Structures are given as structure tokens and as C-alpha cells.
A = this chain, B = another copy of it.
């Protein structure tokens, strides 16, 4: 028998079967290929069914790229058309019958994965900071996922870190505005606009700039790229300081597409955090890179399957 985890992303679905000890029995990835609405729900049912047929089914866990509203059993996933309030729990329950089913947000899965089999194994006060297209945090306190009153907790991309307020924060938050992948690009574009004499490595890419080009230009000593990275390190450090002062965690795990390449700056992020954070709390926390990488959500979904029903 096996626990089956499903990590639903915006463009693909990963599925895996695990033993109770956390051993990976099988994994596979399926592109969403334009599926939307009930087509995505049907794909999840089909993938669980296929793995269950091969390995048996002790429980299923599904993580979603957005919010899971536990009270209603519905999902808000902005990158999946038709999933504004999608009744995933009822759909899966009718397919799975009495099998234990657990659904949660991807950020909850990340920290459950890392504390189960990853960089934070065994930790009970731990945070996963996911920096990619967006920024989110999966937060574990005394071994429990922090979900909040309406399952929105961990929306760290909205952290207020820098005055004055700018209207563009309205759509994605202050922290995310400058320190996510697209945020790095925004800051680079602003700096290039303000420096018409700049002829560096980023200028030719200006139309189609991405975070990868900024890290590459940084390696070549580009002045704008250095400013972008320095600015992001300050904000990542301030955000981590705020997590440290509020939660007093024992470990923060960095992941997402940007950590990744920014992992080499973790010492600088920590030094920045140390300037701002409560001095006792900063001494009690480790900053580490994800050990599971892109599999954090999938492993966490397996852990959700093992932990069982989270709904009331």
C-alpha cells in the first residue's frame, strides 16, 4: 500500500507514490496542456487512480498553486482558468470514496516536505520561503501548518518593507514588487530608465529581460545587475528578519525559481537579517537552501497524504 501525492502547478501536474517511511516508489509528470476547469480535476482523479492501481492507496494528498479554503473544500488557483472557487474536495471525494484525502496550498506542502525529508528534517518551528514568480511562505509552528482564519496565512509577498507606498504594490505587494523574479526585472528596468548612459549587458535584453539574465550579468560585473541584487538582498534580509522576530523559527528554507541562483547569497541575506532582527532570535535560526528543489511540493503532498484529513 502507498500514499499518493499530487503537486498541481500552473502548467503541469506531478504525481508520486510513497511508502509510509517516505521512500519514493514512483513519480511522473503530466503537462496540463491547456486543460482548465473540470479538465484539471479529472486529470488529478485519473493520476491518483493510475498510481493507486499499481501501488494501492492508503491516502491521497494534493497541493494546489493558490489557496485551499478548507471550510468549503474549494480552491482558488489564479493560473488555472476556471479555478476561482473550484470544488476540488467534493470532486475527489466522490472519486476516492472513503480513502483519506488531504488538500492544501503549495506553500504548506513545501514546508511539510522539507521537514519530512528535506533540509529541515525534524524541525517543528520552520519556514519555507518560496521566491519565484511570486513570493509565499509555508510556516510550521510547533509542528503545525499555520493557515490563519481564512487559509490565507503566509502571504509574505505583501510584506510592507519600504516607504513610501507605491500604487503598483496594489496588485502584488511591496516585497514581491522588488524581490520576486519579475520584481528583479522591474527594478532593473527602472534603473535602466534612470540611467540613459548605461550600455551594459542588460540593455539588449530590456524587452525580454528575466531574472536569469540579471544573475548572468551580475557574474560579468554589470553595475545595474549588482544594484538589483544588492537591493533584493536587503529586502530578503529584512523579510527574513521579520519572520525571525515574529516566529522565532529554528530554520528558514529558501526555495523557488530564484533560490536557485540566489542561494549563493544566503550568507549576505543572513547578515542583512541580523542587522534588523531580534538579537536572541536571530542566533537561534539557520538559513538553508531547499534540499528537495522542485520536488518540495510533491514530497509535501505525500506528507499531506500521510498526515490525513485536515478538514474540520
A residues near B (Cβ < 8 Å) are 67, 124-125, 137, 139, 141-142, 144, 146-163, 165, 169-170, 173-174, 234, 238-239, 241-243, 245-250, 275-278, 280-281, 284-285
Contact = CB atoms under 8 A, between A and B. Distances in A.
Contacts of A149: 124-125, 248-250, 284-285
A139 B162 CA distance: 24
Number of copies: 2
A173 B278 CA distance: 7
Tell which of A163, A174, A242 has the most Cβ of chain B within 10 Å: A242
Contact of A158 (B67, B170, B276): B276
B146 A281 contact: no
Contacts of A150: 248, 280-281, 284
A151 B174 CA distance: 29
A121 to B, nearest CB: 15
A239 B174 CA distance: 13
A154 B163 CA distance: 23
A248 B281 contact: no
Given A142-B144, A281-B148, A281-B150, A245 B276 contact: no
Given A148-B281, A150-B284, A165-B276, A156 B248 contact: no
Contact of A245 (B163, B173, B245, B249): B173
Contact of A238 (B154, B155, B160): B160
30 contacts: A67-B280, A125-B149, A141-B141, A141-B148, A142-B144, A142-B147, A146-B247, A148-B248, A149-B249, A149-B250, A149-B285, A150-B281, A150-B284, A152-B248, A152-B278, A152-B280, A152-B284, A154-B246, A155-B246, A155-B281, A158-B241, A158-B277, A158-B278, A159-B245, A160-B239, A160-B241, A161-B161, A162-B162, A169-B275, A242-B246
A207 to B, nearest CB: 30
Contacts of A278: 152, 155, 157-158, 173
Given A142-B144, A146-B141, A245-B173, A276 B160 contact: yes
B162 A163 contact: yes
A137 B137 CA distance: 20
Nearest to A240: B160
Nearest to A235: B163
A106 to B, nearest CB: 16
Contact of A159 (B144, B242, B250): B242
Given A153-B248, A153-B281, 12 more contacts: A137-B246, A149-B250, A150-B281, A157-B245, A158-B241, A160-B241, A160-B242, A160-B277, A163-B238, A165-B276, A173-B278, A246-B246
Contacts of A170: 275
Contacts of A153: 246-248, 281
